[in-house]
């Protein structure tokens, strides 16, 4: 606010500034303590810790995949191993339809699955938060239109919409990310909208408005910090959904045909007749990875929800 340079002596303005700096420092310190307490509370929850440990494992696996299994081990033309072979020395998960180690495929799959899941969630969160805050804040035509749009998107069945979008856009990693991102935001938007409404009804927002705060200031300085914890908890839950969606899309053959994701491995296994061949080693590892990662994000999300939601935080 430019009222700083208004009437008043230099000394006055000085004390005002230090006063505001104090307030900033105070707010920062308070945020730090809150963060520290949230982390401490989270580490006390067995579900949260289990989620973090599992995720840590898969992140390390994804990062180390190129070192553990050089890219050429995935090349169909370079392999000398038998096809669809059950586990043996050096190939603890056996080989796939081309004679490539399933273990190497699963390790590389972690990269694509995590990458797609997290990037799609970023899109979904940004969209959901923007639409949610805007539709809760603006009580005019814009707000009403955004609210309707959210409701409509919530009603359209998820899988058919994703299938249609993926068919129309074509298959590449970026398109899969976009498709999952733009279909999974409405739930977040609705949550954020409800929270926005409840925050804007509080007296301090009214006070701020009375002091002349603009729409932008209200939304970014008062509403956004208050919805962030909710968004954060929701983010981890959305990553779980996004990874599951990626797996389903790839299984249906709508993923990037050149990117090895867990869903793609399952699609290949299904297509190669792994079921009738009884090749359980081809099906079980990628599925177990999906289950573990989805479970980890779900556990972490539930723990975060309890830690960050003041109503559910036990004294």
Partner 1 sequence: MGRYALRRAGTAAGTAVFVLVVNFFLFRLLPGDPIGLITRGRNMDADQIRALRAQLNKPIWQQFLDYASNPFSTGVDSVKYSRPVWGLIGERVGPTLLLVGTATVIATAVGLWIGIRAGWRPGQGFDRGSTAVTLLLYAMPEFWLGMLLLIAFGTGIGPLPALFPIGGISTPGVDTSTPAGWLDVGRHLVLPATTIVLGYVAEYSLIMRASLVDEVHADYVTTARAKGLKDAEVRRRHALRNAMLPTSSLVLLNIGFVVSGAITVETVFSWPGLGLLTYDALRGPDIPLLQALFLLFSLSVIAVNLVADLLYGVIDPRVRT
Complex with partner 1: residue 156 or 174, whichever CB lies closer:
156
Question: Is the CA virtual torsion 62, 67, 72, 76 positive or negative?
Answer: negative
The least distance separating partner 1 from the CB of residue 3, rounded to whole angstroms, comes to 44
278 binds partner 1 (CB under 8 A): yes
Residue given tokens 């730090």 in the structure block: 32
CB 135 within 8 A of CB 152: no
Selected binder of partner 1 within 168, 201, 211, 315 (CB under 8 A): 168
What are the angstrom distances between the C-alpha of 23 and each of 16, 19, 26, 179? 10, 6, 5, 43
158 binds partner 1 (CB under 8 A): yes
3-state secondary structure of 102: helix
Residue given tokens 């299994």 in the structure block: 69
87 binds partner 1 (CB under 8 A): no
Complex with partner 1: residue 129 or 250, whichever CB lies closer:
250
Selected binder of partner 1 within 14, 284, 309, 313 (CB under 8 A): 284
The least distance separating partner 1 from the CB of residue 54, rounded to whole angstroms, comes to 11
The least distance separating partner 1 from the CB of residue 66, rounded to whole angstroms, comes to 26
DSSP output for 161-183:
HHHHHHHHH-S-HHHHHHHHHHH
d(CA 315, CA 151): 36
* Ranges of H-type helices in the chain: 10-44, 46-68, 102-137, 141-155, 158-169, 173-183, 186-200, 203-210, 215-217, 224-251, 262-271, 280-308
CB 163 within 8 A of CB 254: yes
The least distance separating partner 1 from the CB of residue 53, rounded to whole angstroms, comes to 16
d(CA 260, CA 256): 8
The least distance separating partner 1 from the CB of residue 268, rounded to whole angstroms, comes to 12
Selected binder of partner 1 within 163, 197, 232, 272 (CB under 8 A): 163
d(CA 174, CA 196): 31
Q: Which stretch binds partner 1 (CB under 8 A): 58-66, 76-84, 206-214, 276-284?
A: 276-284
189 binds partner 1 (CB under 8 A): no
Q: Which of residues 3-62 bind partner 1 (CB under 8 A)?
A: none
d(CA 266, CA 252): 10
247 binds partner 1 (CB under 8 A): yes
Q: Which of residues 215-234 bind partner 1 (CB under 8 A)?
A: none
Selected binder of partner 1 within 240, 300, 307, 308 (CB under 8 A): 240
275 binds partner 1 (CB under 8 A): yes
151 binds partner 1 (CB under 8 A): yes
Residues of this chain that bind partner 1 (CB under 8 A): 148, 151-152, 155-161, 163-165, 167-168, 240, 244, 247-248, 251-254, 263, 266, 269-270, 274-276, 278, 280, 283-284, 287, 290-292, 294-295, 298-299
């Amino acid at each position: 606010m430019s009222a700083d340079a208004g009437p008043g002596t230099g000394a006055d303005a000085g004390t005002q500034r230090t006063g505001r700096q104090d307030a900033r420092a105070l707010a920062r310190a308070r945020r730090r303590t809150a963060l520290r307490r949230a982390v401490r509370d989270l580490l006390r929850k067995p579900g949260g810790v289990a989620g973090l440990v599992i995720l840590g494992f898969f992140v390390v696996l994804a990062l180390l995949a190129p070192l553990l299994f050089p890219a050429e081990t995935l090349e169909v033309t370079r392999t000398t191993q038998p096809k669809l072979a059950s586990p043996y020395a050096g190939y603890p998960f056996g080989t796939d339809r081309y004679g490539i180690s399933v273990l190497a495929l699963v390790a590389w799959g972690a990269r694509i699955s995590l990458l797609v899941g997290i990037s799609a969630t970023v899109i979904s969160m940004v969209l959901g938060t923007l639409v949610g805050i805007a539709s809760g804040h603006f009580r005019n035509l814009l707000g009403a239109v955004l609210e309707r749009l959210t409701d409509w998107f919530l009603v359209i069945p998820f899988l058919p919409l994703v299938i249609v979008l993926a068919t129309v856009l074509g298959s590449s990693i970026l398109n899969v990310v976009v498709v999952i991102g733009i279909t999974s935001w409405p739930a977040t938007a609705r949550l954020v909208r409800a929270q926005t409404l409840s925050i804007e009804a509080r007296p301090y927002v009214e006070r701020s408005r009375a002091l002349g705060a603009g729409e932008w200031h209200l939304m970014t300085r008062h509403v956004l910090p208050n919805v962030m914890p909710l968004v954060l908890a929701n983010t981890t839950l959305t990553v779980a959904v996004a990874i599951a969606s990626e797996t389903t899309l790839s299984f249906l053959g709508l993923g990037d045909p050149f990117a090895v994701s867990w869903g793609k491995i399952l699609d290949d296994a299904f297509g190669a007749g792994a079921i009738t061949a009884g090749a359980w080693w081809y099906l079980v590892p990628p599925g177990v990875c999906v289950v573990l990662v989805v479970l980890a994000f779900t556990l972490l999300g539930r723990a975060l929800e309890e830690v960050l939601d003041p109503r559910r935080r036990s004294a």
